[in-house]
Amino acid sequence: MSSDPNGEAGSESGEVPAVRGRQRIVLTQISSRAWEHPADRGALTALRELRGFDEVIRSLTGLWNERAWRLEFLGGAIRVDHRQYPRVHRLFAEAASVLDLAELPELYVQNDRSINSMCVGMASPFIVVNSGSLELLDDDELRAMLGHELGHLMSGHAVYRTMAELLTGWAVRLAWLPIGSLLLRAIGAALQEWWRKAELSADRAELLAGQDPSASLRVNMKLAGGGDLSQVDTAAFLEQAAEYERAGDLRDSLIKLRTLAGRTHPIPVARAAELRRWIESGEYQSVLAGDYPRRGDDRNASMTDDVKAAAQSYREAFARSEDPLIGLLRKVGDGASGVGEWVGAGAGRVRDWMKGPNGTADDDPRD
């Protein structure tokens, strides 16, 4: 993986100074659609079709939960600015500048020695980073991590995750029905699958914010093994990812499925492999060259196109997988299309259900 990813900027792109003599391209007016994984984008587009629902959720959550969250960190963490943690503030501003985010959200550092961060809130989202991340990540790695959380914020993941959890809550009320328990499990599994794809989206935003593939890879390596990489080899780490995907027999495949159950984040080796795949696809370089959707075009997004892209991404993953169970399924028959379309269109079905029998659900672009 090259550590010098810079391509030619488009006519709307600028440059900002980067550490160690590199230049990072400012992605002027970039839409979050540029980095969203197809499966994530399909779900987000469908949820955004529930016009007004997101505003209601923002308002209700902001009244109590978000105020409580903010007060908790205001009282028990350090708010970052040019006076407090100036190094972190500088890196945060650099990541936001590259993603063309004019107004910085609040950023807090909490006392936790693990490597982690999160985006919290809906009406006025803010970001929290663990003190362990400051200690164990270098500047390029920390900038990448902060870019990851900015990606969550700009995609609206917190808003739509809360919407999805509300829908899950409604399903819980139907658990007493004969099919209620099965329905609840299916919805829970689908939401976890969506959030894992949302994490892959944020990983891409992380890469675009830092524009240093090696730094993003090191973040995943440190998430897996801690802060000291002096005895860790990059090539060997990527070999682990390949071995994890293809090794073993059907028993290992079933164990991996059980391991994923209940997880909202992909495992580090899988995240590293997926990010590398995105780079090798050429999409990353295209964005740096100025070929990306702008925010002004988001209103024209087609849910039909996004659902099709989600289904296609599952078909492609199914086709290239070296997992023994997937290999067996390929021999039995190509089930990727049906699975992919079901997952990709799930949020659309929820949207249509909420509009009711008199709704006007259709596949036209948004107004």
Number of structural domains in the chain: 1
Q: At 127, list the tokens.
A: 């970001």
| CA nearest to 65, candidates 162, 167, 198, 194 | 162
Q: Is the pLDDT of residue 44 over 90?
A: no
Least confident of 126-130, 157-161, 316-320: 316-320
- The answer to whether residue 2 is domain-embedded is no
* pLDDT single digits (tens) 338-351: 444 444 445 454 44
221, HSE (Cβ side, Cα atoms, 13 Å): 22
Least confident of 28-42, 182-196, 322-336: 322-336
The strand order across the sheet containing 126-130 reads 78-79, 107-110, 126-130, 117-120
| Size of the chain in residues | 367
- pLDDT value for 158: 79
Report the alpha-carbon distance of residue 133 to residue 114 in Å, rounded. 7
Q: Is position 1 within any domain?
A: no
Residue 209 pLDDT: 97
For residue 99, pLDDT beyond 70:
yes
Beta strand 78-79 pairing with 23-26: unpaired
What is the C-alpha to C-alpha distance for residues 299 and 282, in angstroms, rounded to an integer? Answer: 26
**Structural domain includes residue 364:** no
- Decide if 71 contacts 78 (C-beta within 8 A): no
Residue 15: pLDDT band (50, 70, 90) is very low
The model's pLDDT over 100-109, given as tens digits with 9 standing for 90+, comes to 999 999 999 9
Do residues 295 and 29 make contact, with C-beta atoms less than 8 angstroms apart?
Answer: yes
Pick from 3-17, 150-164, 298-312: least confident: 3-17
Is residue 178 in some structural domain? yes
Q: Average the pLDDT over 145-167 and give the result.
A: 83
For residue 97, what pLDDT is reported?
97
Structural domain harbouring 263: 14-355
Instruction: Tell me which of 49, 141, 149, 206 is the catalytic residue.
Output: 149
Least confident of 106-115, 129-138, 331-340: 331-340
Decide if 71 is inside a domain: yes
> Structure pTM?
0.74
Any catalytic annotation for residue 149? yes
Q: Give 218's contacts (C-beta < 8 A, 6+ positions apart).
A: 138, 140, 141, 229
Closest of 202, 68, 107, 221 to residue 147, by C-alpha: 202
**Cα 204 from Cα 279, distance rounded (Å):** 9
**What is the biggest distance separating any 2 CA atoms in the chain, rounded to whole angstroms?**
64
* 244 within 8 A of 270, measured Cβ to Cβ: yes
The DSSP line for 81-103 is SSSSSHHHHHHHHHHHHHTT--S
285-329 confidence digits (pLDDT tens): 999 999 999 998 888 777 677 667 666 765 666 565 555 555 655
Q: Is the pLDDT of residue 134 over 80?
A: yes
The token duo for 53 is: 């629902």
User: Is residue 7 assigned to a domain?
Assistant: no
For residue 222, tell me if it sits in a domain. yes
- How many CB atoms are located within 10 Å of the residue 113 CB? 12
Q: What is the pLDDT of residue 316?
A: 62
In a domain, residue 9? The reply is: no
